Homo-oligomer: A and B are copies of this chain.
Amino acid sequence: MKVIIMKISDLGGEFSLIDRLVKKVESDLLIEGIGDDAAVIRWTDDQHLLVTTDMLLDGDHFNTEWYTPYQIGWKSMVANLSDIAAMGGEPMFSFVSIAIPDDMEVEFLDGLYEGMQAATDRYGGAIVGGDTTHGKVLSINIAVLGIVAPEHLCRRGDAEVGDLICVTGPLGGSWGGLELLFKDIREGTTKHLEPDCRLDISSKLAPHVNAMIDVSDGLASEVRHICHMSGTGAVVHHEKVPLHPDAISAGKRLNKDPYRWALGGGEDFELVFTIPPGLLSKVEGFGVIVIGEILPKNEGIQLMKDGESTVLSGGYDHFSE
């Protein structure tokens, strides 16, 4: 008899893992649980509460060789705030749990919190609580509470057939920077080490857009999330995908295709959203770029390149790559 021991890596992706682990919860208060950038909870008639949480560990999500303490703090916070942006909300309060190795220098920790504070000073979501404890590995968990007006809530599942698919800015810069760091090149890596999120425009987009998601796992992955949750297909036009200057220069330097990073790289923290064509004029002033269209489900999720359609693949998956 063969005993099969399933490893986490056999489960096939973060998506199914979360599905497996969390029971369906029925509650009048819970508008949206697992499966979006943040959970949505009924707050008042005028506002929903958003809750998002992300865990980052030294050696897995950052390291102390490439990142300054400030950058670790900044990026940890921005990654969470970006989830609030993706829901169309505004961050309110943040809770930082941190496990610290015993021999860590206070200066390092001060730098870390300076980075977090700088991010909340810029984007909102003041740090008001948390947990500080021992850990052999520096571990950070941030939970952010945000608010959103019910009519401005942008869920992944709100896309409609005929919507245009847009992004808020150029992509691939983060992953291009990571590829450079792997080669010990520091120039052109700021987009990876110290990314911005799009809370500067997200609440202005929110009243007009249907579905929205942030680019944390790569454009292709985000479009697939929108389609799966909305029950639609989509087409993304390869030549319309905007490349970040850092992606272009890193691509030249390393002789790699920067579109691969834009489609599959992740951590750009731009927003991908869908909008009815008639409302595009409302958001064009924010520098958004139309890259595709939402199609009926039976047309699949396509990448159109040089007049040929292929399946839109790529995108980071925490447990399959």
Contact = CB atoms under 8 A, between A and B. Distances in A.
B57 A137 contact: yes
Contacts of A96: 21
20 contacts: A7-B103, A8-B102, A8-B109, A10-B106, A17-B132, A21-B109, A22-B127, A25-B93, A30-B93, A30-B128, A34-B129, A39-B95, A39-B129, A53-B131, A54-B133, A55-B141, A57-B137, A59-B136, A61-B133, A131-B141
A34 B136 contact: no
Given A7-B106, A8-B104, A30-B128, A51 B139 contact: no
Copies of this protein in the assembly total 2
A131 B100 CA distance: 20
A129 B9 contact: no
A105 interface: yes
A138 B141 CA distance: 13
Nearest to A106: B6
B136 A139 contact: no
Interface string A41-67: 101100001011111110111000000
What size tier do the contact residues of chain A reach?
Answer: 35 or more
Most buried by B among A18, A103, A131: A131
A104 B99 CA distance: 21
Interface in A18-34: 18, 21-23, 25, 27, 29-30, 33-34
Nearest to A95: B53
A286 interface: no
A30 to B, nearest CB: 6
Nearest to A133: B318
Nearest to A41: B93
What are the 7 tightest A-B residue pairs by CB atom distance, in nearest-first order?
Answer: A141-B141, A55-B97, A6-B106, A33-B128, A39-B129, A143-B143, A25-B126
A135 B95 CA distance: 21
B145 A99 contact: no
Nearest to A6: B106
A158 interface: no
B139 A57 contact: yes
A130 B18 contact: yes
A254 interface: no
Given A21-B109, A22-B130, 8 more contacts: A7-B106, A8-B109, A11-B106, A51-B93, A57-B136, A60-B133, A97-B141, A134-B318
A269 interface: no
Contact of A39 (B18, B44, B93, B97): B93
A23 B117 contact: yes
Interface in A209-226: none
Given A23-B127, A109-B21, A135 B57 contact: yes
A98 interface: yes
A61 B236 CA distance: 47
A5 interface: yes
Interface string A76-105: 000000000000000011011111111111
Given A18-B132, A33-B128, A44-B44, A105 B51 contact: no
